[in-house]
Amino acid sequence: MIDAGSAITVDIMENCKHIGGFILPGLKYIKEIYPKISPVLDCEINLKLNLDKIPLNTQDAISYAVIKSIITPIKELSKDKKVIITGGDAKILEMFLSNSICNEHLIFDNMKGLIIDNNCITKR
């Protein structure tokens, strides 16, 4: 399960048990690091980047580093298993993970369901 928001949290589940995971900065915060190094590095992330090719320009070099650093450990750990992605940047990560299922609002939808089921709020 991946929650891709302010931070990218990756939680590995096996037989309905949490067996570990890791946390990365979210895409917004990673992107903010580069201009602090140099104004020349203030680039948008190229989401159409081919990760199988070595980058030839600054924007693609930054994009490659950002995306690969997030996607590679997820692919290594998930292998062929399905990956569930939620959060504000879920659709971005989904583009690079062919074994993923994306629902940006999964956590909030389930929280709302729990609240309704426990009569904490009224249905609308």
Which listed CATH number (3.90.1150.10, 3.40.50.10140, 3.40.50.720, 3.30.420.40) goes with 2-117? 3.30.420.40
Contact present, 96 and 67 (Cβ < 8 Å): yes
Mean pLDDT of 42-52: 94
pLDDT digits (tens, 9 = 90+) for 49-108: 999 999 999 999 999 999 999 999 999 988 878 888 989 999 999 999 988 887 765 555
CA angle 31, 35, 39 (to 5 degrees): 145
Give the model's pLDDT for residue 58.
97
Contact present, 51 and 71 (Cβ < 8 Å): yes
pLDDT grade for 16, boundaries at 50, 70 and 90: confident
Give the model's pLDDT for residue 18.
87
Contact present, 66 and 26 (Cβ < 8 Å): no
Give the model's pLDDT for residue 64.
97
pTM of structure: 0.78
Give the model's pLDDT for residue 105.
57
